[in-house]
């Protein structure tokens, strides 16, 4: 049964005006409580008094698939970071997959609930030139990894009336996971119904644009990953005008469904209670 719209808050106007999080507290808790779950954590210096948290957990088998998951690249998208924290601390991610995780790529922006960095730079437009310290730090770390089965990039959209996603594949390749992910999410969050989203044609929440890295110069993270680290990328977009719990359920369901699909399964293991 598709979810209804009862979780919508109606707070957003000209931007995100919903619930915020104490990002430093959440990341500290994540670091302290994830070690016994097999996670390795690093603090990668960016600014003189700041850093990016990077996490890694290897599957037992060296032949296991690997997944990259990132969140918090926009500081006004707090459900992305808190959802990823909860997935890790609940030990919900399947252990037969190797993970590389950035739980918050823009902590300075998230502290002030701003999409951009305090300097006004949108990190998700800097992946071609890599002029920001945050993006350079991420890319330097990712050079340690040859490739990923899929890149999962968590986002929110303050204007959206439902969940949607971008699925990038190599030219002439059809979408692989998007419909199954949206079907799972629909049980906990409405799906965006518009046929045109952010200028892209959408089919019941699924945007599958023709991918050509030459088509724009302000590369988002997904373009870099497709050009350098994977042949499959999912950019998840939760509707941030809904209550935090709804968005968290949606993002967590999407991530777990993707992990199950990488494992060759068909159903998400997340329930409807959070």
Q: What is the pLDDT averaged over residues 25-32?
A: 98
Q: How confident is the model at residue 271 (pLDDT cuts 50, 70, 90)?
A: very low
Domains of the chain: 23-262 (3.40.630.10)
Strands 66-70 and 98-102: parallel
Mean pLDDT (the chain) is 93
Q: How confident is the model at residue 267 (pLDDT cuts 50, 70, 90)?
A: very low
Rounded to whole angstroms, how far apart are CA atoms 248 and 156?
10
Q: 228 and 140 in contact (C-beta within 8 Å)?
A: no
CA distances from 151 to 80, 102, 227, 268 (A): 15, 11, 12, 18
Task: Find, among 100, 45, 109, the residue nearest to 74 by Cα.
Answer: 109
Fill in the DSSP letter of residue 115. S
CA distances from 191 to 5, 39, 128, 163, 260 (A): 10, 33, 31, 5, 20
Task: Find, among 29, 150, 53, the residue nearest to 106 by Cα.
Answer: 53
First-to-last alpha carbon distance for the chain, in angstroms, is 18
Percentage of residues of the chain with pLDDT beyond 70? 92
User: What's the pLDDT score for residue 210?
Assistant: 75
- Per-residue tokens: 14: 């000209």
- Per-residue tokens: 12: 């957003």
Q: Tens digit of pLDDT for each residue in 73-83?
A: 999 999 999 99
Q: Tens digit of pLDDT for each residue in 214-234?
A: 577 899 999 999 999 999 999
Q: 119 and 102 in contact (C-beta within 8 Å)?
A: no
Rounded to whole angstroms, how far apart are CA atoms 92 and 181?
16
User: What's the pLDDT score for residue 264?
Assistant: 87
The phi and psi torsions of 156 (rounded to 5 degrees) equal -135, 155
Q: How confident is the model at residue 272 (pLDDT cuts 50, 70, 90)?
A: very low
User: What's the pLDDT score for residue 265?
Assistant: 57
Please name the residues in contact with 237: beta carbons below 8 A apart, sequence gap of 6 or more.
155, 156, 157, 160, 163, 164, 165, 166, 192
The phi and psi torsions of 222 (rounded to 5 degrees) equal -60, -35
User: What's the pLDDT score for residue 214?
Assistant: 57
Please name the residues in contact with 9: beta carbons below 8 A apart, sequence gap of 6 or more.
18, 241, 242, 243
Entry pTM: 0.94
Strands 98-102 and 51-57: antiparallel
Q: Which residue has the higher pLDDT, 54 or 264?
A: 54
Q: Tens digit of pLDDT for each residue in 175-186?
A: 999 999 999 999
* The dihedral sign for the CA sequence 213, 15, 207, 137: positive
User: What's the pLDDT score for residue 48?
Assistant: 82
Q: Tens digit of pLDDT for each residue in 141-171?
A: 999 999 999 999 999 999 999 999 999 999 8
Q: What is the pLDDT averaged over residues 88-107?
A: 98
Please name the residues in contact with 91: beta carbons below 8 A apart, sequence gap of 6 or more.
37
Looking at the predicted structure, is the pLDDT value of residue 269 above 50?
no
User: What's the pLDDT score for residue 99?
Assistant: 99
């Amino acid at each position: 049964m598709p979810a209804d719209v009862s979780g919508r808050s109606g707070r957003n106007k000209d931007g995100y005006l919903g619930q915020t999080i104490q990002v430093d507290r959440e990341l500290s808790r994540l670091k302290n409580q994830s070690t016994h779950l097999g996670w390795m954590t690093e603090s990668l210096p960016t600014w003189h008094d700041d850093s990016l948290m990077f996490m890694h957990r290897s599957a037992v088998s060296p032949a296991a698939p690997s997944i990259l998951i990132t969140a918090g690249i926009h500081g006004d998208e707090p459900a992305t970071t808190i959802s990823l924290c909860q997935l890790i601390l609940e030990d919900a991610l399947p252990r037969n997959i190797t993970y590389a995780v950035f739980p918050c790529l823009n902590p300075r922006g998230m502290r002030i609930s701003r999409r951009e960095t305090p300097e006004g730079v949108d990190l998700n437009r800097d992946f071609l030139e890599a002029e920001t310290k945050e993006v350079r730090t991420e890319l330097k770390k990712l050079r340690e990894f040859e490739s990923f089965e899929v890149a999962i990039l968590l986002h929110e959209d303050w204007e959206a009336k439902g969940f949607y996603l971008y699925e990038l594949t190599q030219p002439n390749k059809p979408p692989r996971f998007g419909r199954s992910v949206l079907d799972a999410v629909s049980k906990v969050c409405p799906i965006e119904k518009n046929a045109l989203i952010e200028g892209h044609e959408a089919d019941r929440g699924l945007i599958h644009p023709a991918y050509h890295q030459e088509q724009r110069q302000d590369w988002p993270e997904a373009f870099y990953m497709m050009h350098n680290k994977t042949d499959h990328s999912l950019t998840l977009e939760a509707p941030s005008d809904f209550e935090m719990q709804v968005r968290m359920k949606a993002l967590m369901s999407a991530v777990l469904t993707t992990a199950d699909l990488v494992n060759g399964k068909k159903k998400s293991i997340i329930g409807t209670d959070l």
